[in-house]
Amino acid sequence: MSAKKDLIDRDDDDINPFEDDSFVPQVTPGLKPFEPELQDITLETTREAPQPAITTGKASIFSKLSPYFQVDETTLKQKLITALKLGELKSLRDPESQADAQLDLYSTVWITATVIMVLFLSYSGKSVIGSLITNSFSDVIDFQIMINCLFLFYIYVLGVPILAFLICKFVFKEPFDVITAIDTYGVSNVVWVPIGFISVVTGLVGPFENIIEWVLVAIGGAYSGGIIYIQLKNVVTELQNGKVLLLAMIGVHILFTLLVRWIIL
Amino acid sequence: MDTIEPDFIETETGNGYGSTLSTSARGTLDESIVSTFKRDFHEINDKLKKVVYPHFPLGSPSAQDQHVFQGTDLWAPLCFIILYSLFLSKGRGRFSSFFITCWLVISAMATHLKLLNPHEPMSWMSYLSLAGYCMFPQVINSLACSIILPLFNKIPKVTLIRLIVIARIVSFALCSSWSIISMWKVSKSQTLVQKYPLALCLVTLGWLSVIC
């Protein structure tokens, strides 16, 4: 045993069974040696309710994203009405703080989800109405269409602004307001909600069904394109290569409109 | 030694609501499988009473109930989603689509609630568990729409398709309202901003029962 260890043992009055070779445990008959006293220990046998995980990484992600989802009901209504009236959303900006109170991701996420649901409802609703009229089960509804629709809308709403941002950053070397663009693309989709509901009844029109659906899609595409143009024209025209970007965005929007027609409406 | 010692000593906590909180107590090795299943079933039933059973939406959740809602039990949601997917797929190879869609939908609901209440004591998993429990009315809806109502179509010489479709729509409306109100209550949603996404998600799940 080293001298240092001996010094430590000398300072300690208690016998250290791990260091002192002469230590012999005293066993009382009828009792197990070294039996732990369980009665004083609180056993963690129940699944405790999770504590507020403010310091964890997951909570910090929610905390970081949370401000974009904290939306005021009145502001949201004003925002949708302004967009539908083809007004500029920047007019809703707080005049004192110049803060973009209307900027959020809540509307993008949930308006897009609403549009997907309404379009699927209109697609499947035609079969349900058909069953009621003809008293026979109509065509089998393809559930896959809802998933295709989901991918189409979310890729368009998130993909185009992010792609534009990346092109501006790495090719044009210019700044691009990606959050405003995502917000605008999300809000522009609100146009598809009434169109989805109207298209439910197109199944009743008979031979004109196809023409009416093309007209509805054209109106939806033009209206949503108009909303995007009005909101983003200032952002895009400020760029040196803004015209190229604008033309690309218009082209992608036309393609998106055609895909809506072919996939779901 | 021939005997297997239990993992821990389980203390008896006799609250009037069963042992919903002691979900992890299923770790005992010295009990039969039947006992474990019985206990799990009673725990799920106890929580269902607080979350979705009809008496609950009429009242308000108490502080004790709120403690139960913080549990992260995923057994019941898994069972409900499996049942829902089985009823809707009816062996036509679409089980996985419904299964994944259900998990995505309840995950979206949990994420929405966590994003709106980031500093609440409820974790994302607790919200996921709650959303899963609120799936229960949708399981009944899928059972009614996909299994029970089509049986009436097999009655010979009678065509009841119109009635079946209308009954499906009624079942969808009732069960969706039930699950939506339950979800609003347990998540303490007050504003339209909080309520709307939850309703949208549950209506989507309910509508699938009508059309599939």
- Residue pair A120/A198 in contact by the 8 Å Cβ criterion: no
pLDDT greater at residue B90 or residue A162: A162
B151 pLDDT higher than 50: yes
Which single residue is written with the structure tokens 């970007």?
A245
Q: pLDDT per residue over A52-96, tens digit each?
A: 444 455 557 888 888 888 888 888 898 889 888 888 877 666 656
Contact A47 B11 (CB under 8 A): no
Nearest Cα to Cα of residue A253 among A118, A119, A167, A160: A160
- Residue pair A52/A63 in contact by the 8 Å Cβ criterion: no
Say what the pLDDT of residue A2 is: 46
B60 pLDDT higher than 60: yes
Contact A46 B22 (CB under 8 A): yes
Domain boundaries, chain B: 23-211
pLDDT greater at residue A46 or residue A146: A146
B17 pLDDT higher than 70: no
Least confident of B50-64, B119-133, B171-185: B50-64
Q: How far is A126 from chain B (nearest CA, A)?
A: 11
Annotate chain A with DSSP letters as a single string: --HHHHHHHHH--S--TTT-TT----PPTTS-TT---GGGS----S-PPPP--SSSHHHHHHHHHGGGT---HHHHHHHHHHHHTT--GGGGS-TTT---TT--SHHHHHHHHHHHHHHHHHHHHHHHHHHHHHTS--SPP-THHHHHHHHHHHHHHHHHHHHHHHHIIIII-----HHHHHHHHHHHGGGHHHHHHHHHGGGGTGGGHHHHHHHHHHHHHHHHHHHHHHHHHHHHHTSTTHHHHHHHHHHHHHHHHHHHHHHT-
Say what the pLDDT of residue A38 is: 43
Residues 107-166 of A with CB under 8 A from B: 110, 113-114, 117, 120-121, 124, 127-128, 131-132, 135-137, 141, 143-144, 147
Q: pLDDT per residue over A116-161, tens digit each?
A: 999 888 888 888 888 888 877 766 667 788 888 999 999 999 999 9
Say what the pLDDT of residue B171 is: 94
Q: What percent of chain A has pLDDT over 90?
A: 24
pLDDT greater at residue B116 or residue A102: B116
A4 pLDDT higher than 90: no
Nearest beta carbon to residue A131 from set B11, B23, B165: B165
Say what the pLDDT of residue A140 is: 62
Euclidean distance between CA atoms A234 and A242, whole angstroms: 10
- Residue pair A251/A259 in contact by the 8 Å Cβ criterion: no
> Which pair of tokens denotes residue B84?
């829902």
Q: pLDDT per residue over B2-13, tens digit each?
A: 555 555 544 444
Under the banding of pLDDT at 50, 70 and 90, the label for residue A46 is very low
Q: What percent of chain B has pLDDT over 90?
A: 40
Say what the pLDDT of residue A27 is: 47
Contacts of B76 in chain A (CB under 8 A): none
> Which pair of tokens denotes residue B187?
């998540």
Number of Cα atoms under 13 Å in the Cβ half of residue A229: 15
Suggest the residue from A35, A56, A69 to mutate for an interface test with chain B (most B CBs closer than 10 A): A69
Q: pLDDT per residue over B107-134, tens digit each?
A: 999 999 999 988 888 889 999 999 999 9
Write the CB contacts of B160 (distance below 8 Å, at least 6 apart in sequence): B152, B153
Element (H, E) at B76: helix B75-89
pLDDT greater at residue B107 or residue A178: B107
B59 pLDDT higher than 80: no
Say what the pLDDT of residue A172 is: 84
Say what the pLDDT of residue A14 is: 54
Report the Cα A85 to chain-centroid distance in Å. 26
Contact B22 A47 (CB under 8 A): yes
Rounded to the nearest integer, the mean pLDDT of chain B is 81
Please state the rounded mean pLDDT for residues B140-167. Answer: 85
Say what the pLDDT of residue B186 is: 87
Euclidean distance between CA atoms B204 and B105, whole angstroms: 9
Q: What percent of chain A has pLDDT over 70?
A: 71
Say what the pLDDT of residue A101 is: 58
Contact B70 A50 (CB under 8 A): yes
Say what the pLDDT of residue A51 is: 44
Contact B23 A47 (CB under 8 A): yes
Euclidean distance between CA atoms B37 and B21, whole angstroms: 16
- Residue pair A63/B118 in contact by the 8 Å Cβ criterion: yes
- Residue pair B168/B142 in contact by the 8 Å Cβ criterion: no
Say what the pLDDT of residue A55 is: 46
Q: pLDDT per residue over A194-220, tens digit each?
A: 998 888 877 677 777 788 889 999 999
Say what the pLDDT of residue A47 is: 38
Say what the pLDDT of residue A138 is: 66
